[in-house]
Structure formats: C-alpha cells, structure tokens
Structure 1
Amino acid sequence: MTHLSTFADPKTTTPYQRLADLGIELPPAPPPIANFLTHVIEGNMLYLSGQGTREADGRMRTGKVGAEISTEAAYDDARLVGINLIAVMHEALGDLSRVKQVVKLLGMVNAAPEFRDHPKVINGCSDLINAVFGEAGRHARSAVGFGSLPGNITVEIEAIVALKD
C-alpha cells in the first residue's frame, strides 16, 4: 500500500507533470456501462459518474473486500478508480489545469458485512487526487460499504469538481 498524501506545489508543476512523476499515463476515459453519461458540466461544476476498477485493457478488478480481497489490495483498486476519474476529468475538460477544487468524493466499497475499514480503502483514491492536484485536491468525502457493486467490482467512486472561470 503506497500512500501518496504529500501535496504537490501547484505553483511549480502541473497535474500532468505530477502524474508523470507518479509514473501514471492516463488511459482513455472508460465508457459508461449503461444508459448514463460519464460526466455532466453545469455552470462551473463537473459531476463525475461513478467509476470502477477498470484496467486500461478493459479487465475489471472484482471481489468482496474483507473476504477474498485485502484492505491493501482494495486501496490499490481505489487508486485505479482515481486514475479513471482523472481520465474522465481530462476528457471532459481538455486540460486538468481547469480544476479549481475537487469538492467531494463518494467512495463505495463492495464489502463483507464484518468489514470496517472503508476509509482506508478509499484513501487510495484520495491520496492520488491530493498528490495530483495539490491543495486543490483536498476534498470532502464519504466512504461507505455496500453488499454488492456492479459486476462485483471492489470499489466505485464518484466525484464533484469545481472549475476555474
């Protein structure tokens, strides 16, 4: 489990430079899996639909956290979801520098009933968002457990983002 909680200096680097420093190449934004949009822009707000654990090759990471999936593996899954959210932001905005503030994340964990570490899992996404966007990545958040998620994915996360004028 690699924690990425240090905040980058937004005055000296761009989100793209920070992604490169982390060794991350953005994949294409994952397409929606049903009848919905991946994002909606309303005014200066970007609303991102829930993204899951889709690898760049289309494979999905699946399983019940706290049963067959460890907290550490699920943290990595949440980090992958963060990469997918950033890919959708890039597609929606054309330039990640348009992000004024990541306002809120809703993290959903496909958890066994006795699992209690939902926040530790969703930290995988939060740590990445903070590392890529610096102070503009600091966000409000909910981390909750669900009895199941679509396709048995381990983690799904949605986001609300404020945009620069």
Structure 2
Amino acid sequence: MAGVVESLMAELGLALPTAPAPAANYVPVVQTGNLLFVSGQISRAPDGSQIAGKLGEGLSIEEGQEAARICALNILAQVKATVGDLDRIVRVVRINGFVNAAPDFVDHPKVINGASDLLGQVLGEKGKHSRCALGVAGLPFGVAVEIDAVVEVA
C-alpha cells in the first residue's frame, strides 16, 4: 500500500522509478544516524532515456528543469530503497545541483528549480531545503543535470 507521499505523487501523475544502480565504485546512499547522503543522481529516466547536452548550447531552461525533475525522482527512489517508505522523510536538508552548461550560461538556479519545485510539491514543508546550483563543463554520460542530496529520516 502506498503511503501519503506516494499517493500524492500518483495524483500528480508522477511515477517513482526503481532506484538506479550506481554507475561506478560507490554506494547510492550512505546513512549515518538519521541522515541519508544520496549520491549524485543523473537525468536518466527509468526507460534508459536521458536528457543530455549543455544548457545554453542546444538545451532550453525548460529541458534543464525536466532533467532536474528526473534527478529529484531518482533521489526519492533512492530514499525509498533505503528506508522503505517516503513518509519517513522528516526533511530534505540540502541538494547540490550540477548543470552541464556552456561557459556563458548563467541560469543554473532556474534549472535546479525543477528539482526544488518537485520536492516542494510532493513533500510540502518537508521538501524545503538549502541548495547549491553550479555550472560545470561536463557530467557523466553527457547528461544535462546531476543532483545529490542530504535527507533527514525518522
């Protein structure tokens, strides 16, 4: 039976993907006490498709925001795989968003808003977080966005 958060996600037409497997030699989540440190999640959807490319060189802000939304869903999938129930989230403490961007691209925060907005939409006050939004020269597999997170759970 789905919890409150997953029921709301379903109402919003959002599907929680299976937690992606690590792409290298690391673990997807480390739990210490009541904090989960979620490794960087990339903009690859469950069907294997990905939003790739550079913002400011062929990708629009809207495409970047969708990539960030995919990252946020993958973060939530990792949390569920670790603790079993998204209703155990006390608070999203912090996200760090990395945007694959052209050198003159300056709208990194607008891109990462895709993830911040989704987390707020499905978690309410628990989804409000501190964050960092950075532009980088490249990301794994050429994806548009990668986001990691710190999440407090009960």
**TM over 0.5: same fold?**
yes
Offset of 1:60 from its aligned partner? Answer: 2.2
Where does residue 56 of structure 2 map in the other structure? 66
**Aligned counterparts, 1:102-113, within 5 A:** 102-113=92-103
Where does residue 153 of structure 2 map in the other structure? 163
What amino acid is the match of 2:100?
Answer: N
Residue number among 135, 147, 165 corresponding to 2:125 in the alignment: 135
CA distance, structure 2, for counterparts of residue 75 and residue 61 of structure 1: 10
Offset of 1:91 from its aligned partner? Answer: 0.6
SS in 2 for 1:158: strand
> Gaps spanning 5+ residues in structure 2: where?
none
Moved more, 58-67 or 150-159: 58-67
Work out whether residues 51 and 63 of structure 2, in 8 Å CA contact, stay in contact via their aligned partners in 1. no
SS in 2 for 1:105: strand
Offset of 1:59 from its aligned partner? Answer: 2.3
What is the count of residue pairs matched by the alignment? 152
CA distance, structure 1, for counterparts of residue 131 and residue 16 of structure 2: 23
Offset of 1:109 from its aligned partner? Answer: 0.1
Residue number among 78, 82, 86 corresponding to 1:92 in the alignment: 82
SS in 2 for 1:19: helix
Offset of 1:55 from its aligned partner? Answer: 1.1
Structure 1 consecutive aligned stretches of length 4 or more whose deviation exceeds 6 Å: none
> Gaps spanning 5+ residues in structure 1: where?
1-12
- 1:49 maps to 2:39: yes
Where does residue 19 of structure 2 map in the other structure? 29
Higher strand share: 2
Offset of 1:95 from its aligned partner? Answer: 0.5
Pairwise CA RMSD: 1.0
Work out whether residues 51 and 143 of structure 2, in 8 Å CA contact, stay in contact via their aligned partners in 1. yes
Where does residue 10 of structure 1 map in the other structure? none
Per-residue deviation, residues 46-90 of structure 1 (Å, max 9, x unmatched): 010000011111222210111111111111110111111111111
Where does residue 123 of structure 1 map in the other structure? 113
Where does residue 18 of structure 1 map in the other structure? 8
- 1:144 maps to 2:141: no
SS in 1 for 2:135: strand
What amino acid is the match of 1:45?
Answer: L
